Amino acid sequence: MVNIKTLLITLNAKYIHSSLALRYLQAYCSEGCGEIGIKEYTINNKLLNILSDVYKEKPDVIGVACYIWNIEMTMSLIRLIKKVLPRTVVIVGGPEVSYDPAVIMQEQPDIDYLIQGEGEVVLKALLRVLAGYGTVDSIDGLAFRTDGGQVMINGISQTVACLDEVPFPYTESSMKELKDKIIYYESTRGCPFNCQYCLSSATAGVRFRSLELVYEELTFFIKHNVRQVKFVDRTFNAAKRHYLPIMHFLSRQECETNFHFEIAVDLLDEEDIYFLKDVKAGRFQFEIGIQSTNGPTLQAISRVNHWDKITRNVAGLRAIDNIHLHLDLIAGLPEESYWQFGQSFNQVYQLKPHMVQLGFLKMLKGAGIRKNAQKYDYIYTDYAPYEVLANNSISYEELSRLKILEGLVDQFYNSGRFQYVLPFLIEQYGGDAFAFFHFLTVYWENRQYNMVDHSVKACYKHLIDFYNEQKPVTQPELLKELLKFNALMVEGGSVKPEFLPWDDSWEQEKTEFWRSTETVMKYIPDYQFTTWRELKKHYYIEVFSFNVAKYFFQPQAMQQELTPILISYKTKTSYQIIDRQDFCLEKRSK
C-alpha cells in the first residue's frame, strides 16, 4: 500500500462561512486512506496566493468542492495547480459538477476524477484505489479517464444510506479554527418535497441521523459555547418524531447558543406552537420558505403552500415573539409577473416577519425547472450562478428593479432601523407595502442612489425628499416627528439629523422635571440622581408636536398635540409619555 497525502480544499463565499462537506469527507476517510488535510479559502482570495499555499503542502491528491459561487475560480485554480504540481491527482465533487460529469471532464482535461452526489463512500473507495487497493471501474458514482483518455462514468450519483455511518466532523482542534465562523450541522439529508427549482428534489426521500447521536453532537457545540449552529437540513421539521425531540432537548439546555432551522411552517401543529411559546428567547431562529403565494406559480414548481396554516402558525409565532423569523420569496419563478410577485410580497409582509428575504431564481444544474426552461422562455446567465434574467411573465427591466427593491427592503425593513416610520409611509399607499417599495425603488433608481452607499442620516433625508416629491395626502410634519422618534428609539440618540425639528426650547422644563425626585419616580421607580452626565447617558426627553406614541395604536386619530416623551436607554430601549402637568406644559401655554 502507498501512503498518500490528500488535501481537501474549497473556496467559500465569505470568510465567516465554513465547509461542512470537507469535514465530513475528512472524517469518513480518516481510517485507511493516509493523511488527509483541509484548506479553506474564499472567492475573495487571490488565485496565486491560494496556489502558493496549496503548493507548500505538496499533496499527492487534491479534492476540490465545487459550487455555483466558486466554480469559475475553482476551474482556474485547478489549471494552475496542474501547472506547478503536474503529478498531483485532482478530484472534483459537489453539486456544480455532479449533474453533467461527461461535459465537465471533457472541458477540463486537468481533472482526473469526478465524484457524483454525496462524496463520502465514493471518495474513500477512490483513495484506497489510489493507495493500491482495487480498481476505479468498480466504484459507482465516479467519472474517470481510461488509459486512452476516454471519459468513463460508472453508475449514477451516490448517497449515504445510513447517516449514522458518517462520523461527527468536528474536533477540539477544529473548534479553535472555527471560532469566528458559522458552524453548520446536519441531522437529515434529503427533502420530502419536490420543488422544481431546488436540487433537493433530485434525491428521493429523507434520511435521519439517530437522535442519540444528534443529542451528543449538539452537546459538543454547547460545551464550546458556539454562538450559532446553522442546521443545513432542507426541511428540518419533515418528521415530528425527529424534530420535536431535538427541539425539546435544546430548549432544556443552559446555554446562549442560537440554533437556526429551515422549516416548513405549515407542518407545525398546535402542540408545536404550545411548546415553542416557553422556549427561551433567542434559542431558535426559523427560516421559512414561502417562495410565492401565486397559485399557477406554485403549481408550475410542484409546490404546495397551505396558506391558512402558514398564516395561523406565523401569527402564533409572532405573538410569542421569542423566535426570529425569516420568510423567503423567490423572484423570477414561472407564471408570476412583477405585480403578482408584489402580491406575494404583500401577503408575506403582512405576516410581520423579522426579515423578508428576497432571492432570485437560479437555474441550477439538476433542477427540474432548468430542464423546462424553454417552456417559460427563460433567459439566464450561461455561467454560474445561472441567475434568471427574464421569462415570459417578467421582463429583465422588472427583475433588475426588484434587485434594487431587495436592497431597499434590507435597508429600511430588515435592518429594523425604520420600524417606527415605515407603517406611516406604507399607509400612504393604502397599506400596500409593495407599492411603497416599488415607488421608492423608482425614486432611488432615477437618482442612481443604488450605485452608492448611504449613511443612516442620509436615509432619513431621502425618505423626507421622497415623501415630499410623492405628495401624499397626510401632513409632512408628522413624518418628521415620526422620524425623530424613530431616531431616538432605534439609534439610541447617536443619530440626530439636523433637518429634523429638534426642540431645544424646553431645557428649563426638563431641568425642573429631573430635580423633582417625587415626579421622576412616577416614571422611573428606582430613580436616584447621581450626575447630569449619567442622567443624559441613560435617559432623554423630547417634546413632540404630535402625540407620536398614539399613532401606533390609533393612526387615524392623530392630531397635533404637544407631547413630552421620556426615553430610557438604561436596559432595553423604551418610552413613556410624561403627563402634561408633570412637565409644566400648561404653565408654558399660559
Residue 429 belongs to some domain of the structure: yes
| pLDDT-wise least confident of 217-226, 231-240, 497-506, 543-552 | 543-552
DSSP string across 226-293: -SEEEE--TTTTS-HHHHHHHHHHHHT--S--EEEEEE-GGG--HHHHHHHTTSPTTSEEEEEEEE--
Which pLDDT does position 473 carry in this prediction?
Answer: 59
* pLDDT band, very low/low/confident/very high, at 175 (cuts 50, 70, 90): very high
pLDDT of 124 above 50: yes
Report the number of distinct structural domains present in the chain: 4
- Residue 219: in which H helix or E strand, if any? helix 211-223
343 in Cβ contact with 317 (< 8 Å): no
Residue 511 belongs to some domain of the structure: yes
Which pLDDT does position 528 carry in this prediction?
Answer: 87
**Quick one: three-class SS letters along 10-56?**
EEECCCCCCCHHHHHHHHHCCCCCCEEEEEEEECCCCHHHHHHHHHH
pLDDT tens digits for 440-486?
999 999 999 999 999 999 999 999 999 998 876 567 888 999 999 99
Looking at the structure, tell me whether residues 134 and 231 fall in a common domain.
no
Query: End of a domain among 459, 492, 525?
Result: 492
pLDDT tens digits for 26-65?
999 998 898 999 999 999 999 999 999 999 999 999 999 9
pLDDT tens digits for 409-430?
999 999 999 999 999 999 999 9
pLDDT, mean of residues 190-205: 83
Looking at the structure, tell me whether residues 348 and 263 fall in a common domain.
yes
CATH number for 385: 3.80.30.20
Which pLDDT does position 472 carry in this prediction?
Answer: 66
545 in Cβ contact with 576 (< 8 Å): no
Residue 36 belongs to some domain of the structure: yes
Looking at the structure, tell me whether residues 205 and 260 fall in a common domain.
yes
Which pLDDT does position 331 carry in this prediction?
Answer: 98
Scanning 499-584, the segments in alpha helix (DSSP H) are 507-515, 517-520, 532-538, 548-551
When the pLDDT of each residue in the chain is averaged and rounded to a whole number, the result is: 93
153 in Cβ contact with 26 (< 8 Å): no
| pLDDT-wise least confident of 94-103, 132-141, 214-223, 253-262 | 132-141
Rounded distance between C-alpha atoms, residue 197 and residue 461, angstroms:
40
The angle at the Cα of 205, spanning 123 to 244, to the nearest 5 degrees, equals: 105
Residue 232 belongs to some domain of the structure: yes
Residue 409 belongs to some domain of the structure: no
pLDDT tens digits for 309-325?
999 999 999 999 999 99
* pLDDT band, very low/low/confident/very high, at 92 (cuts 50, 70, 90): very high
pLDDT of 590 above 50: no
Looking at the structure, tell me whether residues 379 and 511 fall in a common domain.
no
Looking at the structure, tell me whether residues 359 and 463 fall in a common domain.
no
pLDDT of 197 above 80: yes
* pLDDT band, very low/low/confident/very high, at 561 (cuts 50, 70, 90): confident
Query: End of a domain among 492, 516, 539?
Result: 492
Instruction: Report the interhelical angle of 120-130 vs 20-28 (nearest 10°).
Output: 50
Percent residues over pLDDT 70 in the chain: 97
Comparing CA positions, the residue from 582, 590, 589, 587 lying closest to residue 561 is 589
- DSSP at 414: I
Residue 168 belongs to some domain of the structure: no
Looking at the structure, tell me whether residues 472 and 507 fall in a common domain.
no
- Cα distances from 412 to residues 72, 334, 433, 497, 528, in angstroms, run 34, 28, 12, 17, 38
Looking at the structure, tell me whether residues 83 and 117 fall in a common domain.
yes
| pLDDT-wise least confident of 12-26, 27-41, 55-69, 145-159 | 145-159
pLDDT tens digits for 502-539?
988 899 999 999 999 999 999 999 998 889 899 989 99
Boundaries of domain holding 541: 503-589
Looking at the structure, tell me whether residues 465 and 567 fall in a common domain.
no
Looking at the structure, tell me whether residues 250 and 295 fall in a common domain.
yes
pLDDT of 587 above 70: no
Residue 176 belongs to some domain of the structure: no
Strand partners, 144: 113, 152
Looking at the structure, tell me whether residues 339 and 222 fall in a common domain.
yes
Looking at the structure, tell me whether residues 211 and 328 fall in a common domain.
yes
pLDDT, mean of residues 253-262: 96
Which pLDDT does position 293 carry in this prediction?
Answer: 98
- Three-state DSSP class for residue 346: helix
pLDDT of 588 above 70: no
pLDDT, mean of residues 155-181: 91
Query: End of a domain among 448, 465, 492?
Result: 492
Strand partners, 574: 568
Strand partners, 63: 8, 91
Residue 398 belongs to some domain of the structure: no
Looking at the structure, tell me whether residues 254 and 301 fall in a common domain.
yes
CATH number for 37: 3.40.50.2300
Which pLDDT does position 549 carry in this prediction?
Answer: 82
